[in-house]
Amino acid sequence: MDQPQPAEVAALHQRFVELLGADARHYPARLEAAFPRILAKVVMLWGSPALDAYLNELMVSERHDRQGFPDDVAMEIFHLSNIHAGLHLSDASTGTGWAGIQDPEVFRKTLQKDSG
């Protein structure tokens, strides 16, 4: 999949703001800037159970050669995962890797404390 062109990214931005509705304040601007291809897939999958699995794959990689996302992008993905999970589209037995985590900032601080 090629990188989206600027006009395509602008259209994705507009479409995703519409899809997010009241949650548009959580628009992933850093994800858009750094990983427009991932944003395109998120927009394409939004509203389908497949998105929960995709977001989980992004955050919990089976590949050990992956560097991971910058913290700010990871937090945006986390917020999107929570918003989308709130739509209750996925089978509760599969869920996401984030099930049960209500406040991402508390979670992030806990991780920092545990690793430091």
Q: CB within 8 A of 14, min separation 6: which ones?
A: none
Phi, psi of 67 (to 5 degrees): -80, -30
- Least confident range of 33-37, 67-71, 102-106: 102-106
pTM for this structure? Answer: 0.72
More confident residue, 92 or 44: 44
Sequence-ordered list of residues with C-beta below 8 angstroms from that of 69, at least 6 positions apart, any chain: 35, 58, 59, 77
Residues 53 and 20 sit within 8 Å (Cβ to Cβ) = no
Q: What band does 106 get if pLDDT is binned at 50, 70 and 90? A: low
Tokens matching residue 100: 């049960």
Which pLDDT score, from 0 to 100, does residue 93 have?
A: 45
> What's the rounded mean pLDDT across residues 12-40?
95
